[in-house]
Each structure stands twice: as C-alpha cells, then as structure tokens.
Amino acid sequence: MSSTPGHRHDHGRGPWARLKHAFVPHAHDANQVLQSAEESSGEGIRAAWIGLAGMGATAVVQAIIVAVSGSIALLADTLHNVGHAATTIPLVIAFRIGQRAATNRYSYGYRRAEDLVGVLIALVIAGSAGVIIWESIGALVDPPEITNLWWVFAAGLVGAAGNELVATYRIRTGKRIGSAALVAEGQHARADGLTSVAVVLGVIGVGLGFERADAIVGFGIALAILGILVGSLRITLRRLMDGVEPGVIDRMREIAAGTPGVVAVTQVRARWSGHRLEADANLTVDSGLTVLEGHDLAELVEHELLHRIAHLESVVIHLNPAVDGRPDATHELTAHHRSMAARAAYRELRSARLTESGDSRTS
C-alpha cells in the first residue's frame, strides 16, 4: 500500500485524517505543491538575471580600468567576474528545463539539469584560475608598468561592493528555494568580492614600491578561486550522488514515527532533484487496519512530512503490516532481492516457519 506523490485530499474519511484536520488547517493540495515548485524556479531565474546584470556592470567598469592601467590583479578579478557572469546563462536554462513536465523517458522530470550546470560552473571556475595563474607568471617574470593606481584602487572597491550585493541576494534566494546551484553561484560572487579586495591590496603594494605585488596578488586570487572550486564541486557531487544534508533523514524518521498509528519506521530515503526534495518511506502499521484506514494513515504521514520538511515536494509511503509484533517481516517472496541484512532476516523467518511446520506435524 502506498500514497502517491500527487496525493488526493478527501479528509472526511478515516480517524487519523479527521482528527488531524480538526485541529490543523489545511494549507495545500497537489496543485499548490506544483505551483510552489514553479514559483521557486521563477525566483531562481529572477535572482540569476539580477545577479548577471550586477556582475556585468561591475565587469565593464573593471575592464575599462584594466585597459588604461595594465593591472594583472585587476585583470584576474575582471576575468573571474566575466566567467562567473557567463555561467549564469546555463543556470537560467537549467531552471527553465527543470520546469518541463515529466515524460516516459524522464519520469522524474528534468530538475537534475541544475546539478549538471553545477559541473559546468566548476569547469569555468577551473579555467579562470588557469588563465589567472598563466598571466601572473608572466607578470612575475616581467612586471608590467601599472598606471592610474587610484583608478585601480577604486575599481577594486567597486568590484568588492558589487559582488557582495549580488552574493547576498543569490545566497538568500538559493537557501529559500533550496537551490544548491544558486547558493554556489552566490558564494562564487562573494569570493569575487574578496578577490577585488585583494586587488586593492596589490595596488597598495605597488604604490609602496613593490612592483611584483600585483602579480603575487594574482596568484593569491587564483588560489582563492581553486578553494571555491573545491567547495562548489563538493556540493554538486553530493547532489549528483543523491546526498542530503545531515539531519534530514533523522528528522523525517522522527516525524513519521511520531504519527499516531505508525508502529515502526523501517526505511526512509530522500534525494534532491534540482532544488526540490523527493522521498520515500516504509512504515509498519497494525495488520488489523482496513485498506481505507491504511490509506488514510499513509496520507496523514505524507501530509505531515510535506508540511514540516523544507523543500520536500513528494513522498511515497509504503505500508507493511506488523506480524507477531515484528516490523517488516512479511516480504518472504521478495526478500532475496534485497540487501544482505534483508536476506538474513528472510532466512531467519523461513527457518522459523519450517520449525513451526515441523512441530505441528509432530504433534
């Protein structure tokens, strides 16, 4: 028995459903869940475009000053900003693709496009770090003459302020809608702001007479970018490997186990699909429940999880009847398809039944 992701709300039947909705107002149905997903995608797209506009304006100002000053550190910062702006377009496309309806081929939908764009973002970050290192080596061997130091100083401050504004907006929006890709882009922008601060430090060094300070700061920026690369890859790869944040599964178990009528929680799983969570849970219930009562209980658990787990869009509930007080002891037919632990439990159950059968024949 299971409750499907697009659950139906007929709350007049079943004791648990009626009791719950007598005290807790109902706040959503299947259509509202879908609207919420669409609205979150719309917020992500809006944040991406606004961030692109802010970074684009910052990069244009910096590029003009690079042309008149010859600063390698400022060039590094500008290239990083341009590369960062370029990754925004694929992110917007990924949000658009994720809004498409599921098909027979892609039955879970297209939201994983966000995670694939995360890989692209990582490659762009790595490429920009490589260019900066190459340019910094050249400047270290043959330091260029840097002019208009005050302009470079001002450009660094503009870059720091502009990127921090973009970073704050993107990170807040990304956390609100559950988009790791958008949060990573915001962190990327924040690091851009820090590299702009490094440009300011390079200008101060050159102004004090250390001509290679600009190139050394360029190396520092490259190292900071590589650090961002590691952090971005960690988030992206965890999502691609169906990893969730610590505490999510424990919280789901706690909510399911605390629902009246649930005897035991035998399995809970969850994974991200873009910026939405999908989950399933195996629950043990009283074997005396009717099909209708079991359905109502499954729907109640689903309802609790959807309300209390952030970014959770769907959860499939599978019910197992308790047999002789033992949870999940009714899968003799399929146990050999399961894990080693499940197979051991199956052998134990089969052995116990054979023993009981032998005893009955003897008597």
| Same domain membership, residue 208 and residue 69 | yes
Query: Is 300 found in the same domain as 257?
Result: yes
Q: Residue 320: what are its φ and ψ, rounded to 5°?
A: -120, 135
* 332 and 346 Cβ atoms separated by less than 8 Å: yes
Whole-angstrom distance, CA of residue 176 vs CA of residue 183: 10
Q: Is the confidence at residue 102, as pLDDT, over 60?
A: yes
Which residue is it, tokens 């027979």?
104
258 shares a domain with 234: no
- What are 217's two structure tokens? 């700061």
pLDDT-derived band at 331, boundaries 50, 70, 90 = low
What is the Cα–Cα distance from 7 to 128, expressed in whole angstroms? 47
SS3 284: strand
Q: What are phi and psi of 315, to 5 degrees?
A: -150, 130
Return the SS3 of 4: coil
Distance CA 167, CA 318 (A): 42
Q: Taking residues 101-128, report their average pLDDT.
A: 83
89 plus 196 within the same structural domain: yes
CATH code of 256's domain:
3.30.70.1350
273-308: per-residue pLDDT in tens? Answer: 888 899 999 999 988 889 999 999 999 999 999 989
pLDDT digit string, tens, across residues 211-254 = 777 678 778 777 877 887 787 788 888 888 989 988 999 999 99
d(CA 322, CA 330) in angstroms, rounded, equals: 8
The number of folded domains in the chain is 2
Q: pLDDT by residue (tens digit) across 148-163?
A: 677 777 777 877 888 8
Q: Distances in Å between the alpha carbon of 273 and those of 29, 49, 94?
A: 20, 22, 12
Q: Rounded to 5 degrees, what are φ and ψ at 211?
A: -70, -25
263: phi then psi, degrees, rounded to nearest 5: -80, -40
Q: Are residues 81 and 20 part of one domain?
A: no
Same structural domain for residues 9 and 69?
Answer: no
Contacts with 191 (C-beta within 8 Å, 6 or more apart), sequence order: 224, 225, 227, 228
**Distance in angstroms (rounded) separating the CA atoms of residues 313 and 310:** 9
With contact defined as beta carbons under 8 Å apart, do 117 and 35 qualify? Answer: no
Per-position DSSP letters for 107-132, written without gaps between them = TT-STTHHHHHHHHHHHHHHHHHHHH
Nearest CA to 219 out of 303, 309, 140, 106 is that of 140
Question: Which residue among 240, 266, 297 closes a domain?
Answer: 240
171 and 101 in a common domain: yes
- Tracing tokens 């559950």 back to the chain, one arrives at 178
| End position of a domain, from candidates 217, 240, 263 | 240
Domain encompassing residue 348: 2-28+245-362
Cα separation, 135 vs 76, whole angstroms: 8
Cβ atoms 230, 121 nearer than 8 A: no
Are 18 and 88 in a shared domain?
no
Q: What is the mean pLDDT of the chain?
A: 75
Sheet containing 2-3: order of strands: 2-3, 312-321, 276-285, 262-273
Domain CATH code at residue 175: 1.20.1510.10
**Residue 304 shares a structural domain with residue 288:** yes
Residues 163 and 288 in one domain: no
Out of 218, 240, 262, pick the residue that ends a domain: 240
